[in-house]
Each structure stands twice: as C-alpha cells, then as structure tokens.
Amino acid sequence: MAARVLGVVVLAALLVGPFVPLGVMREYTIHVLVQIFIWSFIGGAWSLMGRFGLTSLGHGAFLGVGAYTTTLLWNFFGLTPWLGGFVAMALTAVLAVIVAYPCSRFQVVGHYFGLVTLAVGEVIRLLIIAERDWTGGSLGLTLKPAGGDSLLALQFADKRVFYYGALVLWLAGLWVWWRVDRSMARSAMEAIGEDETAAASVGIHVTRFKVGITVLSAVLTAIGGIAYAQYISYVNPDTLAGIGVSLRIVFAVVLGGMYSMLGPTVGTALTIALSEYLRVLFGVKFIGMAETIYGLLLILFIIFLPAGIYGTARQLLRRRRPAPVAA
C-alpha cells in the first residue's frame, strides 16, 4: 500500500517536473532525465534476457541496427522514423533470430553465449565503420534537420516533448517487464535457465521461448536506440554499437539488480547521475579521470553488492520484517 502511494507521488512529480522553474538548470536536468528514461528502458529490455541467464554482451548490435536503420532511411530517402522504426524493428528481429536460433539449437549458453553476442556486437560496429560512404564511419552521422518542430520527423526543439515521450517509453518498458514477469513464459524461462534438458523433458519448447524472449528484448532495445538517436540527433558506432555500450547497459542493470522491475532503472539512474556528476566535476581539466573513478566504483560495487543496489536494499528491508515465505 505504502509502495503504491509512493509510486503515485513519484509519477506525479515526474509529470509536473518539467514545469518546475529551475532557471538555467532546467534544460540540463531535463536532458539528464531523458537519458535516464531511455537507458532505463534499454536496461529493462536487456534484463528480460539477463534474468533468465541469457547474458548478452552484444545488445549494442540491436541498438546500432535500430538507430542506424531509421537514421539512414530518413537521411537518404526521407522516410519518417515512424515507418523507418518498423523497418528497423523488423531488421532487429531478424538479427535476433539469426543469433538466438542457432544458439538455442546448439546449446550455446553461459560464457559462450556472452562471447557470441559480443562478437555480434563487434560485427555490427565494424560493418557500420566499413560502410563509411553511407554511415560516415567512425565519425558518425547527424540526423538531417527537418527544419523546425516536426511530428513526422520526430524532431522537436523543446526538450520537454522528448521528456514526455521518454517517460511514456519508460513506463511502457516497465509494463512489458510486468507482463513478462506474470506470464507463463517466465516460469518456462526460469525452468530453462535452471536446467535446459529437464525443462525440455517436461514439454517446454526451449527454442521457441529462448528465441521469443531474445526477439522481444532485441526489438525493445532497438526502439530505445531509435529514441536515443532521435533525441541526440546524431549516431556514432562507438556510442550505439560495440563492446563499450553493451557493457555499460549490463553494468547499469547488474548494479541496480536485474531480478526486480525497478532494478534496471535504479542502476541506470545511478550510473548516469554518477558519470554526469564526475563529468561536471572534472570538466575538461582531467580527461579520463571521471571514467577512471567510474570504472573503479563499478568494480567495488560488483564485489561488495553482488545482488545489486536495489536487490540488496530489498533484501535488507525484507530481513527486518518477518519473512512471509522462506525462499
């Protein structure tokens, strides 16, 4: 009950947030919040797979395919991101099937699954760099301006539009997470994660569930990539594909805790707040220092809070109350 009231209060605060007069800080605060919403959504998409033991280290591939497909279609053919988005989602789904189907059929799990997805992420990043005539290579690509606000081009001068868009996206992500959490698929996937052979022996179609959850996770990640590209209106192979961004997503989720609905959000909010704080603190004076501290803190968090921040906090709270069911 208390949690529900708290949730309503937080949501109300987020809804009126952009109209709070913060002076010059408003634009910046909104910018940080938009990033938190979008990356939390992406983190949530990753955790749909991650919580079942499908540790993907290549979600950058899905981000990159999503963001680059819509951007290229818009820049070269003037196709609105609303339609380009569907093309991007379809392509991502195809890529996800190409990865997930053989992985499932040949029982590529654990470390091997991580490394296969890592290779897929690198393939996409290198392809983007290699096709530099189209994609601008490692210099990246700027979204062609539509000239003023345009719903068709998904470009707006006012950051608040993106704020509400990202907020809706984030809530939609939480809804998907909740639906999966309460579905049959969750029980099936948990069984598969525990013991694939045993799950198959009780009649669970292992491949169908694995491919299904991978496609869902990949398509959501692509949507996140599209949203981010539209917001920043610039795409770059290093920020939207490859190992760096893939690891960042996993970090945020594991830091928050991947087994709870709000874990990815808590982790993402913390990592983004931390890196923004360090960036502002050091400015351009000590290049690399902010990232150094970021890396160090990540190691410490992983060692000392293995269940994630949100997960650990929940464990502590639960220990105080009498446990209803011994887990």
Which positions lie near another protein, rule CB under 8 A? 50, 55, 57, 102-103, 105-108, 110-112, 114-116, 118-120, 122-123, 126-127, 129-130, 243-244, 247, 250-251, 254, 286-292, 294-296, 298-299, 302-303, 306
CB of 43 to another protein, least distance (A): 13
Compare residues 55 and 230 and give the one whose CB is closer to another protein: 55
CB of 244 to another protein, least distance (A): 7
Rounded to the nearest 10°, the torsion over CA 166, 171, 176, 182 is 160
Shortest Å distance, C-beta 11 to another protein: 31
Supply the minimum distance, in Å, between the C-beta of residue 311 and another protein.
12
What long-range pairs does 201-206 form, CB within 8 A, spacing at least 24?
Answer: 206/104
Asked if 93 and 108 count as a contact pair (C-beta separation under 8 A), the reply is: no
DSSP 261: T
56 touches 50 (CB < 8 A): yes
3-class DSSP state for residue 51?
coil
Distance CA(234)–CA(6), nearest Å, equals: 36
State which residue, 171 or 247, has the beta carbon closest to another protein. Answer: 247
State which residue, 84 or 311, has the beta carbon closest to another protein. Answer: 311
Shortest Cβ 296–another protein spacing (Å): 5
Considering beta carbons, is residue 163 or 251 the nearer one to another protein?
251
From CA 172, how far away is CA 84, in angstroms rounded? 20
| Residue 323 Cβ vs another protein, minimum distance, rounded to whole Å | 22
Closer CB to another protein, 37 or 301, in the complex: 301
Nearest to 180 by CA among 8, 1, 42, 44: 44
Identify which of 119, 88, 64 has the alpha carbon closest to the alpha carbon of residue 245: 64
Question: Which whole-number Å values give the CA distances from 43 to 32, 223, 275, 308, in the listed order?
Answer: 16, 12, 16, 14
Q: Report d(CA 279, CA 285) in Å as an integer.
A: 10
Alpha-carbon gap, residue 327 to 321, rounded angstroms: 14
Minimum CB distance to another protein smaller for 214 or for 230: 214
Nearest distance from C-beta of residue 188 to another protein, angstroms: 21
- Residue 149: how many other CB atoms lie within 10 Å: 11
Cβ closest to another protein, residue 131 vs residue 149: 131
